[in-house]
Amino acid sequence: SFNSLNHDMTLPEFKFIWYMEYSHRMWGRVVGLAYILPAAYFWRRGWLSRPLKGCVLALCGLVCFQGLLGWYMVKSGLEEKPDSYDIPRVSQYRLAAHLGSALVLYSASLWTGLSLLLPQHKLPETKQLLRLRQYAHGTTALIFLTALSGAFVAGLDAGLVYNSFPKMGERWIPDDLLAFSPMLRNIFENPTTVQFDHRILGIASVTAVTALYLFSRKIPLPRRTRMAVTSLLAVACMQ
């Protein structure tokens, strides 16, 4: 990277990015210890039920897997590519896997914690409630996909290709949207397509969250659930 791109970098500039990377690694290790050590203590004291032991083991495995994915991702940015003159960068596929794993770990930890702290509401299984639950799951999947597409934008520096909105340059659909062959490669490797997909997914996510909120207003829901849906809309707008 120094020879190909940053040959004029000063020592203080290098120290800045080095400490950013080092802090990220150390923070990840602290997070791992903050989870594994108390979990081992609770397990030894017999405070975990049998189902909870399964959750604890799964989350522990996911914590370790997340660290392994981080190493695997960084390794891709250090590999020599003698036939390539491209800017050295980590693989966008590994970056998306690392981010996706982090989102799953965070969501699973939060879900497990809230399940223990807050009693589950017993609501009548009406047709409207079932539809709301299905729509909420679909919205969750769409938001997750949008976040993963953001990792591809970051990995390819696709945010630098077009910086106008809602149009991309002078066009709604750019000319080089399907420039790569075979066509499927564009979704993952063409910076223009990656940014275009991220825009569409982002707009779709905000639309889905808004529709979820409006639909929830028609159903009698507990205060906690209503607050969660309202907070989701607020965060989506802020994002």
Q: What's the pLDDT at 80?
A: 61
- pLDDT per position in the chain (239 positions), as tens? 555 566 778 888 889 988 998 999 999 999 999 999 999 999 999 999 999 999 999 999 999 999 999 999 988 876 665 555 456 678 899 999 999 999 999 999 999 999 989 877 777 778 899 999 999 999 999 999 999 999 999 999 999 999 999 999 889 999 989 989 899 999 999 999 999 999 999 999 999 999 999 999 999 888 999 999 999 999 999 99
pTM: 0.85
Q: What's the pLDDT at 118?
A: 85
DSSP H or E segment with residue 54: helix 50-76
Q: In 3-state terms, what secondary structure has residue 171?
A: strand
Cβ(103)–Cβ(147) below 8 Å? yes
Q: Which two tokens stand for residue 141?
A: 């999947």
Cβ(186)–Cβ(220) below 8 Å? no
Cα 96 to Cα 93, 155, 160: the distances in Å are: 5, 8, 18
The full set of domain ranges for the chain reads 1-117, 121-238
Q: Which two tokens stand for residue 37?
A: 């050590």
Q: What's the pLDDT at 132?
A: 93
